[in-house]
Amino acid sequence: MADVLSRREAPGRRLPPGVRLRIGHEAATAWIFLTPTLILMALFTVIPAVIALTLSFTDIGLRDLRDPFSVDFAGLDSFAAVLANTDFQRALLNTLLFVLVGVPLTIVIGLVLAVALNTGIRRLRPVYRTAIYVPVVANIVAASVIWKYALGYQGPINEALTHIGIPAPNWLGDPQWAVTAVIMLTLWRNIGTAMVLFLAGLQAVPEDVMEAAALDGAGSWGRFWHVTLPLLRPTTLMVSVLITVMYMNIFEEPYLLTGGGPLGSTRSLSLWIYEQFGYGKIAASMAGSFVLLALVALVSITQFRLLRPKH
């Protein structure tokens, strides 16, 4: 580990004895200060992550929960079973659909709103920003209760749609409309995050660069395309990784709004993993988590490579 900190520490031998003692004392203090953090992170993040990786290679079931050492090694059996499971395959495809539709929509709408907020409207900017961001902090259980009521077949949204002459869809009863409803709920919850991050990125774009581009005769669309977007690259990378990972892990929205139905049309990978846990099929649940973790890692790494700055 060639890091700055240990290099700063290395010439300690040539320091006067008192100072050397103090540096040793400093290290001891540091470890004491870090102890609660390290213990809690070990117990609830590091050890579980290691167990998750190990257990998916075993035959663990519900009765082994209180005695985890009684399980047997099962190799890749759980993976083979999980990958061959049609419900799992369906959940994988559903998740892919959520990602492919939800991610681009969240990013594009978030960016458009951030650009709109960044055009000289000073006085009303905080009002709009608050209104668009507030769903992000809303509790998802409460939100789902409201959405379930609002999207009921005879509910207030359909009442309003009928009023303006649009045929009322069976939001939560028809498989395709249920997928649409889940995606709408995720958009409602995530657009604010994308918007706030893009707005921070836009406000970091230097004024003089834009003025120079304007003097060179670039129109507003040209300036956005050739100056703003390239400068926003790091923000775009961060937002797209963040939003993609959120959609890949999507759980609460389908669990609470549609329960994964109708006919499994909205069951996501995470929801499938949770259901397996509920059925006591721990090994299958773990193998599913393993696949999900691997996919999340793969997608994040790919996005970093694709979107990292060009030299």
Q: Which residues from 140-169 bind other proteins, rule CB under 8 A?
A: 140-150, 152, 154-156, 158-160, 162
Given 91, 169, 252, 258, the residue binding other proteins (CB under 8 A):
252
Pick the closer one to other proteins by CB: 3 or 311: 3
Is residue 49 at the binding interface for other proteins, with CB under 8 A as the rule?
A: yes
Pick the closer one to other proteins by CB: 107 or 311: 107
Q: How many CB atoms lie within 10 A of CB 288?
A: 28
Q: Which of residues 181-200 bind other proteins (CB under 8 A)?
A: 188, 191-193, 196-197, 200
* Helix intervals (H) in 42-155: 47-55, 77-84, 86-117, 125-137, 140-150
Give Cα separations from 271 to 110, 119, 261, 280, 298 (angstroms).
Answer: 26, 41, 11, 14, 20
Looking at the DSSP bridge assignments, the partners of residue 73 are: 58
Is residue 23 at the binding interface for other proteins, with CB under 8 A as the rule?
A: yes
Is residue 238 at the binding interface for other proteins, with CB under 8 A as the rule?
A: yes
Q: Which of residues 108-127 bind other proteins (CB under 8 A)?
A: 112-113, 116-117, 119-121, 124, 126-127
Contacting range for other proteins; rule: CB under 8 A; set: 35-43, 75-83, 94-102, 225-233: 35-43
Looking at the DSSP bridge assignments, the partners of residue 58 are: 73
# of chain residues touching other proteins (CB under 8 A): 104
Is residue 265 at the binding interface for other proteins, with CB under 8 A as the rule?
A: no
Amino acid (one-letter) located at 246? M
Give Cα separations from 243 to 117, 135, 143, 239, 292 (angstroms).
Answer: 21, 15, 19, 6, 15
Is residue 202 at the binding interface for other proteins, with CB under 8 A as the rule?
A: no
Rounded Cα–Cα distance for residues 177 and 158 (Å): 13
Please, what is the minimum distance in Å from the beta carbon of residue 310 to other proteins?
22
Is residue 275 at the binding interface for other proteins, with CB under 8 A as the rule?
A: no
Q: Which H or E run includes 68?
A: none
Given 25, 63, 226, 308, the residue binding other proteins (CB under 8 A):
25
Residue 244 CB partners (closer than 8 Å, separation 6+): 99, 103, 299, 300, 303
Is residue 298 at the binding interface for other proteins, with CB under 8 A as the rule?
A: no
Give the SS3 label for residue 264.
coil
Amino acid (one-letter) located at 74? A
Is residue 52 at the binding interface for other proteins, with CB under 8 A as the rule?
A: yes
Given 11, 13, 37, 167, the residue binding other proteins (CB under 8 A):
37
Give the SS3 label for residue 155.
coil
Rounded Cα–Cα distance for residues 264 and 243 (Å): 24
Rounded Cα–Cα distance for residues 150 and 188 (Å): 14
What is the SS3 string spanning 35-47?
A: HHHHHHHHHHHHH
Pick the closer one to other proteins by CB: 52 or 97: 52
Please, what is the minimum distance in Å from the beta carbon of residue 139 to other proteins?
5
Is residue 101 at the binding interface for other proteins, with CB under 8 A as the rule?
A: no
53 to 82: interface string for other proteins, x by CB under 8 A: --x---------xx-x--------------
Please, what is the minimum distance in Å from the beta carbon of residue 208 to other proteins?
21
